[in-house]
Structure 1
Amino acid sequence: MMLKGKKTMRNKRKEITNQEISIIKRLIDMKIPNQEILGHINKSRGDVCNHINNGRITDIKKGKIGNNVKMATQEEANHFINIDSIENLLIHKDGYLLGRESETLEYKESFGGIKDSRLLQTIQGMANNKGGYIVFGIKESNDANISKRYKIKGIDEKEQNDLMGDNKKISEKLQSNFGEEVKYKKECKTINNKTIGYLKIEEAENKPIINTQGDIYYRYDAETKKMAKGDLVRILNEYQGKILKPILYKFINTILENGIENSAILNIATGSIKGKSGSFLIDKELLPKISFIKEGNFVEKNGAPVFVLKGDVRTAEVVRVNIKEADIYNIFFNKEDIDANEAKRCLEVIAESQCKWIPMRYFIKKANMDKEQTIEMLKKIKTTKKSYVKNHIEVLNNDEPVALSDTNIFIGKIKKKQNFEYLIKKDADINKITKAIMSLEVKDFDSKYMLKQLLWLHRKYSSSKYVTNIRKAIAYVDKSLFE
């Protein structure tokens, strides 16, 4: 009786549900091999004791089981087998992919290079959401008689080489466009005798990713567009929570270590100190006059009130870590008052920058060095990017004056402090403005106005084909103001 009971229980566990039958029918229709279908079904069942065998798939295929069960939809099957994996994304039938575009999937007919603005928007949108795949070599069907389908077209050898080429170029382009790292993977695969390529975009750790134009793109269902206010608020709240949690945990751990009865919280703005044993208030007029001293040291300073701190007291220097090229421009445009050590760190970053035209003189001045001292410092930097360092030394040694020109109509407008935003009517005006800037002497323009206008110009057009001339103009102003 017991053995019979166990057999009955085991058979009951292995009964196949109508939902599983409907999914299996769709997977059979997708021409997925029996063994692969079996793997998907048993994976969803979990415990090996609940697994079914290959015979069940064969019985469904022959109509012996679930003959009256309706076949699942494509979307239901995709969801069941986890369509987000690249293997499932590439499932195809009769030359067409069976998957559809979604918030984690975008199809593109070709790969036109990482500079494609629409591609950059999609990368940014996916990084700001959950990540996803961008697949190249897929053409949307234009047959009006059928629903939207995606044909496997493939990409040519040049596109394959461009996609799989120098990782550094792609990483640098993403870095310059977003001001921070966007993680990705890339690969080419052959399906249906055609080669397709894809980028897998990782979800960003620090959201939102913002491009140099100040726009925030987000990946919605099968489309990328500027982020809605509600999504931005949600992401900012999530980020705030991510930042605050470690701080709160640190305070809580400190309180637990000291004991709740021995701990209190000081509000340095109001002077209020509150704890389990009660609270008291430090007079507001007293707060800025309080001196903190190390226990055991004697201090007398015009009768200033003194708080005694137990333990070691150390002074700390606030430093900027992991300086990036975007930080260099921000410091320059805002004329941040950095100390000599930080200025030297900035010069080290500049030396390894691929960009030849980048502000340097401001940082040389802040580092309290002259040109010769700077060149010696650059030569001593240990780096594999010797060619970049050489370029920057050449720029420093170039003392040739820029020829003045009074034929440029923008010279007078700049002298009158007109906004670049209103001066640029067409793309060709960008080059004319940069040439006008480099035709001016320092006495001809207001430094505050010029830096503000260059900041706008740099952010607006840093991803355009005019970026080199814009950077030359910035470097020229840097040289004019700070050399």
Structure 2
Amino acid sequence: MTDEEIGLIKAMLAEGIKNDAVHFYFNRADRLLSSGRITQIKQGKYGAAVPAASRAETAAFIADWKCRQLAGAIPQAAHPTDAATVTALFELIEGSWALRLGETDKAECKLGFRLDPLDRFADVIRTIAGFANNKGGYVLFGVRDGTRIAEGLQGNAFIDADPAAINRALIASLDPVPHVTKTTLVLGGAQVGVLYVEPHDHAPVVALRNISDCVKEGAIYYRYVGETRLIKPGELRQIIASREQRAVAEFSQRMMRVAGGTEATLNLDTGAVTGKAGAFVIDRDLLPALQFIRQGDFSEVKGAPALRLVGDVEAVDQQERDRIRIIRDAVTPDAVVRNFLRGEVVAHPDQYLHAQAHGSNKWLPIWYYLRQANMAPQLMVAELQGRVATHPSSRDAVVRRLQQADSALKVHPGRPAQLRDAFARGEVVAPTNVTDDLRFAYAVMGLLPTQQGISQFKPLLLACLDRAQGQDASSGNRRSAVYRAACRLDELLHG
């Protein structure tokens, strides 16, 4: 058992939950747990040094467990930016919410937030680089470092901050660019801003420029317990060793795909391209014009590594060139969602999945197109992992969903939860304004498999999407909500 599970068990036992009931939460088909283990934990004979989880962590675990049972989903970890997950970082002490463990190697406190000028954001950029080079983590705004108390943010600077502006600041300062998710949390009336930093797949992240006294050009920062500073040799060796291991694993997988017939090899001396199903030859006069270049800036998103082919190479005929152009031009995030909501049959449905590895949107329908392509999920996973992705994190998000390790299901409290309950009773009212649109999309995200008439939500979501075509932040938030809601319908109808 993990220390986290032991801590949860201790907390549940302390709240008076009986041993057999606690055992029910942790016993699984793939990990049969003796009921005697619960007794050993209660008596302090097993995991005695592990601290009990907080009430917030325990409540979040139980709520997530119940949700998984209702949805019939495979057990999965909550997303790091889910409200319950972030709330579990805090505990209620004498009427105030405090960061449970203070600043750690995964949490940094900032009382205020300011993005412009860049000098005022330099310390945050340094912290983001450190988290990306380690295990990821949270930058929490509105939390005082010394007391750990969530005092809340003053003004709307964080709420109004455009995620694209934050990303532009990172693009100008770090390479490769870390992936950061922005969200907010209200604790006891105090508004806390959250930037969650994912661990980077291609670390180390390096500073590109000098920014005040915090960030130095060429420096590699690393998050240690309670502080971000220049990386030590030991941690740098670990990063390099990890990259080497991934490179060896990727090479082995590619050789297996070549042996299995899903990929071919190119002989640069003869021009022969050979695969299990057949072969063709590139003209020897063309070979000197071919260059395979490791490119760091393949598209608009700086820092997304890709392999770029430069030379006099084009599709074999006009029909093939047109097909590629149509796929590249037409498969936009909006097209992926709209074609699903309209129920349209598309040409080359597999490309609607591949396109999702080259954009920043992580919530787009997949099962609808997989069924049209008549492909097994495992085959699509192998294809996605076997190709270079402009946005590796987006590609990995699609892979997790294809493997049923992640779901678009998200239950929003308050009005969206009330709407979802009304849907379950057959009371579905079409939203008519932008305020209703957001609540409606949030409610659809929480639909359960027991919901009747799921298809009726598709035209209603399409109308919400039509009203969210502005360039302002509010329209962007509504589009994101509609995209994830469409994913939930896709799971329920075709997953």
Q: TM-score range by the shorter chain?
A: 0.3 to 0.5
Give the TM-score of the pair, scaled to structure 1.
0.41
**If you compute each CA radius of gyration, which structure gives the higher value, 1 or 2?**
1
